Amino acid sequence: MKIVVVGGVAAGASVAARARRLDEDAEIVVLERGHHVSFANCGLPYHVGEVITDRSRLLLQTPDSLREMLDIDVRTGQEVVAIDRDARTVRVREVDGGREYDEPYDALALCPGADPVRPPLAGIDDPRVHVLRRIGDMDRIKAVVDEACAHRKADGRAPLRAVVVGAGYIGLELAENLHHRGARVHVVELAGQILPPLDHEIAVPVEQHLRSRGIDVRLSTAAAAFEPTPEALRVELQDSTVLEADLVVLAVGVRPSVELARGAGLELGPHGGVLVDTHMGTSDPHIWAAGDAVETPHTVLGDLRLAPLAGPANRQGRVAADNMCGRDSEYRSTQGTSVVKVFDMVAGGTGANERQLVAAGVAYRAVHVHPSGHAGYYPGTATMHLKVLFDPESGRLLGAQACGFDGIDKRLDVLATALRLGATVFDLEELELAYAPPFGAAKDPVNMAGFVAANTIRGDLRLWYAQDYPQAVEGARLLDVRTAEEFDLWHVPGAQNVPLGELRAACETWDRDQPVRLYCAVGFRSYLAYRALVQRGFTDVATLSGGSQTFRAWHDVEPAEPSTVPTTPYGEAAEVHAAVVAHRGSGVTVELDCAGLACPGPLMKLASTVKGLAPGDEVRVHVSDPGFANDGPAWAARNGHALLAMDPEGPGYVARFRKGGAAAPAPVATAAPAQAGPGKNSFVVFSGDLDKVLAAFIIANGALAMGEEVSMFFTFWGLNTLRRSDPPQRDKPLMDAMFGRMMPQGADQLTLSQMNMFGAGTAMIKKVMKDNAVPSLPELVASAQAGGARLIACTMTMDLLGIASSDLIDGVELGGVATFLGEAAQSGTTLFI
C-alpha cells in the first residue's frame, strides 16, 4: 500500500508515524510545502521571548531522522496543488524551481492545517505586519526584536513598540514574550474581554494581571488600518486611537486550509472545514483528513466545530492512520480543552462555555468557587477562580474554566477527564485526588466545586448570579454577611451589612416572605447564612455564586461610599488624617508576610499589625491575593495611612504603607540635640557626576530616615539624574535633539567624576555597590521619592537644554530659583553638590 500525506507537522507527522508502526510494508510519502516538518508550533512564541533559547529544540524531527527511524520518504518544499481522485494521484509542485509531477496513492491523508487570518485592511501588506504560524514567521519576528534589543544596548534606543492584534491564546503568549524582551506592548482585542473562549468572569482576573505587568490592553476595538510613516507604522484603531508601532503581529484566528479538498470536490462542513466521519474519513473512501483543517463534533454540544488545537490534531492523525491500515478506531469528539500561561497566571477551560450553552439553548447551571491552589499555609499559593457548568437536573458536567496561579492545569485536566467520561457533579464530590500541602487541599478545589454544585441540585442551596445584578436583587433585602470592615472597603450598592455572627439575632424581626439575596467574599459565609435563614422559615433566599470576587469581575463598582451602619474602623480615629501622613517616616519598617491568605485575611493581618505601630512607621506587606491591588489602596485611604508603593510580586503584590498620624519624634534627632534647625534639608544638585549625585542621595535618604524633610533642586548637569531612560517620542528642535543625545539620559547613565576610564571605572563602582548590597542610584532616587523628598527640576535649565517635563521621571516638580530659595530659607542645612 502507498500512503501519501499532505502536510508534515502535527496531524501529518502523526499519520505517517502511526502508519509505519502498523504497516512495515507500506510505502509512506510525506509532502510538505514548507522547509520544516514536525516542528513545535506551540513553542514559537517562547523562542521569540528567548525562554526557549535553542531554536533547534523546536524542530522535533527532520526529514533525515524520519527516514532513518521510520523509513518514511519526507519531502519538504513540495506543495500539493491538486488531487485527481479518479486517477488517485496528487499533483505536486516543487516550491523552489516550480517543477511539477504526479504522485500516486492508495490512501491519501490531508493534513494541511490552517492559515492565519489577515483581514483586508489598508496597509496590511506593510512588512512590519506579521503573523505567527511557522518557523519562518517566528524567525522574522525574532529578527526585529533582536535588532531592537541590540540597538537599545549599543546606543540606548527606545524600546521596541509592538502591537499584538488579538487577545486569544497565541496573542497573549506573544505579548508576554515580547514584553519579556523589553518591548512596549499594546494588545488590541475586538471582543469586550481578553481570551474570548473563556467566560467573562474568568478572563477579567487575567486581564488585570496582564495590565499589572505593563501591557496596554485595548478591548472592544480592532485594527482598522496601517499607515506607514518614516518613524513608525501607525496602527489606526476602530475607536480612532492611533498606536505607533515598530512591529505588529496579527493573532486574530485561523481559517482551515481547504483549497485542495474543495478543488477535489470533497464535502465541507458548516464552518468551512473538511467534513469527516468518526474514522477521519472524508466523502472519498480513499481520502482521510485530520488536524486544523477538519470539523469534528463538540463533545458537549454535539454539533460540528473547528478546533485548532495540537492534541486533537495528533489524535486525529493517529485515528486516520489506524483506519487507513485496516483498524476500526474512532475519534468521537473534541471538547476544546486548552490552557495558557500569561505571565504568572494560568487560565483555561474545557467543554462548553456559558455563552455557547446559551446560544445552543442547553439548560445549565453554573457554580463559582475561589479556593487556593494549595494549602494556604504552605508558601506559593493564591486564590483561583474556578467555574463549573453542569446540567441542572442530572448534574452531568458541561464545561469548566479556571484561572489563577498554581494548580490550574491540574484542575482543568481532572475536570476535562471527568467531562470526557460523562461524570456528574456528584462524582466530583467523591473524587479522591492527590494531596499534600504543596500540591492541594484535603478538600480539593474540584471537590469544592462538586459540593457547591451538588448542593444546588439537592436543594440545599439556591444561587443568584453577578451578571443578573441589579435585576436579581430588585424588591429583595440584599444582605452582605461579611465583616463590617470588609463592607466598609467595598460593597455591592444597595447592600445592608449584617455580619454572619449577628444574622441569627437580626433576622428575628424580618418579614420571612420578603426575598433575601445574600453575598459574602467567595460564597462560603453566605452559604452558612442561607442555611440559617432557610431553616428559620425564610421562603425566598438565594446566595451570590462566587461572592464579591465574582461580582467584581462583572461590575466595575467604585470603593464603597462611607458606611451608614456602625463599623469598627481599622485605624483609631486619631489616625484618620491623610494630611499628616505626608512626608515623614519614622525609619521603622516592619515586614509582614500575608502570602497564601485569601481576602480578607491580608487586610485583617495588616490592620492588626498597623495598630501596634507608631505614626510614621512603615509596613512592607507581601500579599498573594491579586484583589489586594484594589483593597490595599482603599483600606489605606479610608484609614488615613499612606500607600507608598505597590509592586507586582509573584501572584500578588508587595506593598509599603506608612501609618498615619503625627510622626513620632525622630529617634536620632532627639538623641543628638546638636542637630539644630527646623529638621529640613535643601540640596542644590548641580553636578551630573555619578559619585557626587550618589553622595547627595545617600545624605538625603539618611535625612528622610531620621524623620527630616528633604528638598532637592536639580539644575544644569544635575538635571540629567531625573531624565527618563525611555521618554515618549516628541518632535524636538535640532539643538535640543543634539543636547538630548549627548547628555546622560537618566540616573543609570551618569559616570564617575574621576577614574571613569571610558566607562570601566563606572562599571566597576556599580559592581562593587551591587556586591555590597548598596542600592543603585535609580533605587536611591526612588527611595528618596517614596520617603517624601521633593525633587524639583530647574525650569531654566530645562529651557536651556531642551528638556520637557515628559522627559523627566514621574513625581518631579518644576520650579525656579524662587522655589529653591523658599525651601532653603526654611532649611537647617543647605548643600550645593
Positions annotated as catalytic residues are 42
Q: Is 11 in the site for ligand FAD (CB under 6 A)?
A: yes
The helix/strand/coil state of 136 is helix
Of 73, 79, 94, 726, which one interacts with ligand FAD (CB under 6 A)?
Answer: 79
User: Which residue matches cell numbers 462566587?
Assistant: 546
* CB closer to ligand FAD, 264 vs 441: 264
The helix/strand/coil state of 80 is strand
Q: By CB under 6 A, what part of segment 21-60 binds ligand FAD?
A: 31-34, 41-42, 44-45
> How far is it, in rounded angstroms, from Cα 421 to Cα 694?
66
Interface region with ligand FAD, contact rule CB under 6 A, candidates 286-294, 403-411, 467-475, 724-732: 286-294
Which of 66, 60, 105, 62 is closest to 82 using CA atoms? Answer: 105
Q: Which helix (H) or strand (E) holds 625?
A: none
Q: Is 291 in the site for ligand FAD (CB under 6 A)?
A: yes
Q: Is 256 in the site for ligand FAD (CB under 6 A)?
A: no
Looking at 586-689, list the stretches that DSSP marks H as alpha helix, in order from N- to C-terminal side: 601-611, 628-639, 667-671
Q: Is 170 in the site for ligand FAD (CB under 6 A)?
A: yes
* CB closer to ligand FAD, 7 vs 351: 7
* CB closer to ligand FAD, 277 vs 511: 277
State the nearest-atom distance from the C-beta of 628 to ligand FAD, in Å: 30
Residues 6+ apart with CB under 8 A from 642: 578, 581, 582, 636, 657, 658, 660
> How far is it, in rounded angstroms, from Cα 737 to Cα 415?
59
Interface region with ligand FAD, contact rule CB under 6 A, candidates 302-310, 535-543, 687-695, 789-797: 302-310
CB atoms within 10 A of CB 364: 18
> How far is it, in rounded angstroms, from Cα 322 to Cα 306?
22
| Residue 187 · residue 215 · CB < 8 Å | yes
State the nearest-atom distance from the C-beta of 41 to ligand FAD, in Å: 3
* CB closer to ligand FAD, 42 vs 362: 42
Q: Is 6 in the site for ligand FAD (CB under 6 A)?
A: yes
Q: Is 245 in the site for ligand FAD (CB under 6 A)?
A: no
State the nearest-atom distance from the C-beta of 117 to ligand FAD, in Å: 12
Of 82, 310, 637, 800, which one interacts with ligand FAD (CB under 6 A)?
Answer: 310
Cell of 504: 441569627
Task: Please provide the distance, in angstroms rounded to a whole number, between the alpha carbons at the two ends of the chain.
Answer: 87
State the nearest-atom distance from the C-beta of 291 to ligand FAD, in Å: 2
Q: Is 112 in the site for ligand FAD (CB under 6 A)?
A: yes
State the nearest-atom distance from the C-beta of 338 to ligand FAD, in Å: 6
Count, residues near ligand FAD per rule CB under 6 A: 32
The helix/strand/coil state of 656 is strand
* CB closer to ligand FAD, 81 vs 574: 81
> How far is it, in rounded angstroms, from Cα 678 to Cα 709?
9
State the nearest-atom distance from the C-beta of 172 to ligand FAD, in Å: 11
CB atoms within 10 A of CB 589: 14
Q: Is 280 in the site for ligand FAD (CB under 6 A)?
A: no
Looking at 364-422, list the stretches that DSSP marks H as alpha helix, in order from N- to C-terminal side: 408-420
Q: Is 164 in the site for ligand FAD (CB under 6 A)?
A: no
Of 66, 266, 313, 412, which one interacts with ligand FAD (CB under 6 A)?
Answer: 313
φ, ψ for residue 625, nearest 5 deg: -80, 115
Residue nearest to ligand FAD (CB): 291
> In terms of C-beta density within 10 A (0-12 exposed, 13-18 middle, 19 or more buried), how is residue 478 classed?
buried
Cell of 413: 485536566
Supply the DSSP string of 104-115, one letter for each residue.
Answer: E-SEEEE---EE
Of 10, 217, 500, 623, which one interacts with ligand FAD (CB under 6 A)?
Answer: 10
| Binding flags for ligand FAD, 117-156, as an x/- string (CB under 6 A) | ---------------xx-----------------------
| Distance from the Cα of residue 773 to its chain's centroid | 32
* CB closer to ligand FAD, 41 vs 720: 41
φ, ψ for residue 356, nearest 5 deg: -65, -40
Q: Is 113 in the site for ligand FAD (CB under 6 A)?
A: yes
Of 136, 263, 302, 311, which one interacts with ligand FAD (CB under 6 A)?
Answer: 311
State the nearest-atom distance from the C-beta of 734 to ligand FAD, in Å: 44
The helix/strand/coil state of 686 is coil
Q: Is 309 in the site for ligand FAD (CB under 6 A)?
A: yes
State the nearest-atom distance from the C-beta of 73 to ligand FAD, in Å: 14
> How far is it, in rounded angstroms, from Cα 153 to Cα 727?
16
The binding site for ligand FAD (CB under 6 A) comprises: 6-7, 9-12, 31-34, 41-42, 44-45, 79-80, 111-113, 132-133, 170, 257, 260, 291-293, 308-311, 313
